[in-house]
Structure formats: structure tokens, C-alpha cells
Chain A
């Protein structure tokens, strides 16, 4: 579409300059800001790039070689990446967690594409999860058995996050509905649960789960540490999901409920077919940020000694032969976390845009 700029512009380069001028130099304050920022970037970016890439050591096989170079020591990552990514899983069997991660990721990506929302997807999930279980645990089909205390790194993070979201979401929805219930007992229980859990940090819940649960169980019966952590994560996220969904439910005009009532639908039919779809669509943004937080919060299992991605990075750093490369290690896993979280948030933006087109503009805060 022909878009010549203002009348002062005679040619294309002038047009580009005018656009630049408007965005960067439109006023004295603006110009000053631009100059300051440009100077800041010039001071910071070249040394960082030097450290990250130009002076970096990609290949040496010992800490000494790395310490000699003034740049980042990516050789450390090359040396340790399997420990970081897969934790203490037996070296030769690491193809199994790798495959399991790919299956999980594949399932998640498939679920994200609308075209695949069919009953067969649920079947796919079931089969996929079974496969993941078999791969990780082994003990069947000729695969050696690997205790889940040896699971670690990225697969563990993915498992904790996936199962966390999968169970926390329905629980959260139920809690939200329960909080709006007219039956006083249910309402009280839900309110108490939500407010208590939201008031305390996840770390304290993790401690609770690892310390308190054994006390409530009969002698000799113990729950797997990983399971305890998983339960704590699920219970924690469910409370936040409940509050967000409640906000969505509140934003549905009463007319919707009345319309559904007048059609003679039962409570659960109303919820499933009319109220929940609208409520959830409204709060997709906040829900996705809860999911992203959940993914990041899996790193907290460090404090109860479970080997997620963050913990395995720490373990890699504990090697006496490779000391002092904390920055490299944390940058490496930081990139991994960033990749996942950023992809999720971009995806959610796309979904929101599509839904806004269908529903008209919705105003909410995430």
C-alpha cells in the first residue's frame, strides 16, 4: 500500500530518517535518552560479547586451559552437559530420559495445536505417559531398572511441571467452583485452603511435605520423595489457579447463568458447556503466567534434595577439578528455562489474540 510519509520527505532514505527521527530524537529529552542508552550499550555489549563468544574457550579439556583464557569457559559445559541435563541417570542409559523428554514435549506441542483436539489426543496422552514411565523406570522390556532417586535434570523438570499442571488445573477449577458454592461447608473448606496455601511460600510447603507426611503415615510406609514434591507442587499451584479462575467466573455476566438456568441445564452441564469455557477464555493470560511460574518453581525442589535441572547444575559445579564456572553453568540452564518459558508465553499471546478476535476486546489484568 502506498505510504509516502509527510510532505517534507522527497525520497525513500529521507522517509527512513524521518521515522528514526520521530522514534529516537523527537525532542531534546528524547535525544539525550537515546545518546545515553547508546553509550551504555556501547560500554556493556562489546565486552559481554567478547566474554561470551570471542574470547571464550570452547574446547580445552581441563580447567587449567579454561582459566587461561579470559572469556567464558564453554568447554566446561561441553564436559558437563550430560550431568546437567540428565542428572545422575546411568550414563549408558541416558537415551531413555532423552526419549522420554521428547515424548513429553511432543505431546505438549500437539496439545497446543487446535487441529489435534480430538478424543484420540487423550488416548495419545495415556499411551505417551505410559511410555515415559516405562522408559524412566525400566524393569520391563529388557530395560534395566532405575530408581527415581537417580532421575534428574531436564526430564525431571519436565515431569514435575507437566504432571503439576495436569493435576493442579482441574483441582484449581474445582476449588474455584467450590469457593463460589452456596453450601457453607464446601465454601469454607475451599476458602481456607486457598487462603492458607497462598499465604505461605512454596518452600515451606516442600519442607512440610518432606517432614510432615512421614509423621502422618503408619509405621514403615513411606511415600517416595519425588512424589511428595510433586504433590506439594500440585497443591500449591491449584490454589493460585483457583483464584484466577474465580476472577474469570466473576467476570461472566449474570445473564449467562440465567440463560443457562432457563434452558434447564444442570449445574455441571452449565459449568462445562457455558460458564467455564467463557471464564477460562477471559483469564488465559493470568493462567499462562501461573503455568510459567510453575515451570520455574520446579527449581525449588533443590531445597529438599531432588535433582532437577538447577540442582544438577550445582552438582556439576561441585566437581573439584572444575571450579569457579558458576556463571557459565547458570547461563546455560538459564537459557533452557528461558527457551521454555518464552515459548509458552508467546504461544499464549497468540491464543489470546485469536480469542480476542472472536470475542471482541476483553479488558483484564495479568
Chain B
């Protein structure tokens, strides 16, 4: 305390209302240097969440595939998956991020000679530019999509109690819901939706959605890195299912893929969920490495704030509070899911 006084630093969170005075590179919500520190920190938090959520979803999908591939009977596939996992797990994430950032900013060409992977998708040293859906009708579409997702989640929860819920959650029906509701929402607004395809104009692209090198490197690095760990979690889970289960299912005449789907994976799930949860937590925490490649995540923004205002303790508290909240939410969610799928015993 004496130290703080001697340096003329205030305590308390009043500084959040002061003007920030610094710019932020990526702003999912509108922000300018004349906005408050509070708003700046909110932007940082949104950036963190943005990158974490996408990384969690994609890494889970890819990681499951790679984990199953590692156990494949195709020797080539198994070895390839194993090679990937070993290389990624034994190198630091920061290195991955630096590497990809360097590749994008140094080895990728100027927008004029950008690589054109798919029609409308360009990779250059300004980042990855994608086409984007635009128009007044988007609100209806997104609203319908959100409604569909909520509906499916609720239906999944009440499966045990209601036949309607069971009907909705059947794969084909679920797909129909996922496609129909957004379409309905769009139709109800009666407004147009069109593709905003990026076009080269002068030295850069105009239109479309550009993922900055920082965002692309962070997202790509996080996904590539965590996929390897999730693959290991999935593999351990599958291998934890006793051999007898494989044998009993096989001796019924089930082909291997059905053995996996009907007998092994459901049991493996119970072993997979806790470590999977900690991988999700890791993704969220690892996103803080963004500060090293210049992506304005929460830690980066708070750090700048800290340096400008000198209010170290408050800044740290904000960071800890934010991450702890996310950690707790993920933990609670996983615990709840865990309890639902526990095996019924005497």
C-alpha cells in the first residue's frame, strides 16, 4: 500500500470509466480510442471468446477424427496420425504461433498474387479473405439458426421424458430442423441475402471478410495444437474400453465400424469427458498467447491498460475473474454432462 501511494497510483475500479486512448486492431464490436477502458476490456474479452469457441468446436471434430484414425487398421493412416500427434505434442504452442504467423506474413504473397484456394477464398500476407453473407435478410437467418440450436439443445435434455423430444433429436429430423428454421426466418423477413465476394482493388481486397494474420495464426495454431491433444484423449478413451466389449460385439457379427459406434464409443465417452473438459480449458487459457503475436485478446488489452494506468492489482483481478468464470462454466457444464452419462450400477 505504501508503495502504491508513493507512486501516486489510485486503487479501485474507477479507471474503467476513463478514456482508453489506445487503438485495438480487431474489434468485433465498435470501438475507438476515445471509448472507455471498460469497453476496451470488453473488446478484449470478446476477442478471446471468439477465438476460443471456434477453436473448441473445430478441434473437437478434428481431434476425434485423428484419435480414431490413430487406431485404424490401415497401417498408413495410423502411422500418419501418430506422426502428426507426436510432432505437435512435443513442440511449444508459442512456437506454432510464431511459425504460422511468420509463414503468413513472410512467405505468403502480396494480395495481388494471392493464392486462390477456392473461388473467392484468398490467402495472402494480409491474411485470409473469405466471402461473406450479407443483407437485411441475415437477421432472419441468424435468428432462425439460433432458435434451431436452442430447440435442439432443449430437446436433447428432455429426451428421457418426452416422445416428441426423441423424435426431434433423431439425426435426420435434427438436420431438417437445423436447415428449415433459418430458411423460415429468412423468408419471414422477405429481405435479400447475397454473397459479398472479395475483389482485388488496388493493393488490397475490398469486400468480404478478412481474417487478419494474427487471428488466422492464432486460430490455426490453437486448432492444430489442441487437435493433437484431443486425439490422444479420444484414443485413450477408446483403449480404456475393455477388450471383452470388442470381442462380444464382434462375436455377434457386427462389423468394426458398428462395434465402434454402438458399443465402444458410447463407453469411451465416459472416460473421455473429464480430460476433454480440461482441453477446452486449455484452449481458453492458451488463447492468451495471443499477446505474443499481437492479437488483442483479454490479457493483451488488460496489459496495455495496466501499463497505462499503473493499476496492476485491479488489472490482474479482472483477468483472473474472467478466466475463472470461463473455467468454472466449462467445469460445471462438463460435470453436469458427466453425471448424465454415468453408467447405472447397483
Contacts and interface: CB of A to CB of B under 8 A. Distances in A.
A360 to B, nearest CB: 15
Interface in B265-299: 271, 274-275, 281, 285-286, 288-289, 291-292, 299
B316 A341 contact: no
Given A26-B73, A34-B76, A212-B312, A199 B327 contact: yes
Given A33-B77, A198-B327, A327 B102 contact: yes
B91 A341 contact: yes
A37 interface: yes
A200 B76 contact: no
Nearest to B90: A341
Nearest to A33: B74
Contact of A326 (B90, B91, B106): B106
A92 interface: no
A62 interface: no
Contacts of B319: 200, 204, 207
Contacts of B323: 199-201, 204
B341 interface: no
B337 interface: no
A313 to B, nearest CB: 8
A208 B302 CA distance: 12
B117 interface: no
Contacts of B286: 201
B246 interface: no
Nearest to B232: A366
Contacts, number: 147
A30 B95 contact: no
Contacts of A196: 320, 324
Which interface residue of B76, B93, B313 has the most chain A CB atoms within 10 A?
A: B76
Nearest to B312: A211
Nearest to A243: B278
B182 interface: no
A193 B87 CA distance: 33
A211 B92 contact: no
B248 interface: no
A366 B89 contact: no
Given A204-B319, A212-B312, A219-B3, A326 B98 contact: yes
A123 B117 CA distance: 61
A165 interface: no
Interface of A is mostly: helix
Interface string B97-108: 011011100110
Given A23-B75, A327-B103, A215 B6 contact: no
Contacts of B99: 326-327, 330-331, 334
Interface string B197-239: 0000000000000000000000000000000000011001100
Contacts of A324: 106-107
Interface in B238-274: 240, 271, 274
B124 to A, nearest CB: 16
B4 interface: yes
A244 B76 CA distance: 34
Given A33-B74, A37-B76, A365-B240, A337 B291 contact: no
A199 B280 CA distance: 12
B316 A208 contact: yes
B54 interface: no
Contacts of A201: 285-286, 288-289, 299, 323
Contact of A212 (B2, B92, B313): B313
A204 B328 contact: no
B80 interface: yes
B236 A365 contact: yes
Contacts of B86: 342
Nearest to B328: A199
Contacts of A271: none
Nearest to A302: B292
B95 A199 contact: no
A365 B90 CA distance: 19
Contact of B3 (A215, A326, A366): A215
Interface string B311-343: 011011001100110011000000000000000
A203 B299 contact: yes
Which interface residue of B72, B98, B233, B285 has the most chain A CB atoms within 10 A?
A: B98
B184 interface: no
B94 interface: yes
Interface in A215-272: 215-219
Contact of B288 (A204, A212, A296, A345): A204
A129 interface: no
A77 interface: no
Contacts of B237: 365
Nearest to A27: B73
Contact of A219 (B6, B87, B281): B6
B289 A203 contact: yes
A296 B93 contact: yes
Interface in B1-25: 2-4, 6
A214 B240 CA distance: 49
19 contacts: A23-B73, A24-B74, A33-B74, A34-B77, A196-B320, A198-B327, A199-B324, A200-B285, A200-B323, A202-B285, A212-B312, A212-B316, A219-B2, A299-B95, A300-B94, A303-B291, A326-B103, A326-B106, A334-B91
Interface of B: 2-4, 6, 72-77, 80, 86-87, 89-95, 98-99, 101-103, 106-107, 232-233, 236-237, 240, 271, 274-275, 281, 285-286, 288-289, 291-292, 299, 303, 306, 312-313, 315-316, 319-320, 323-324, 327-328
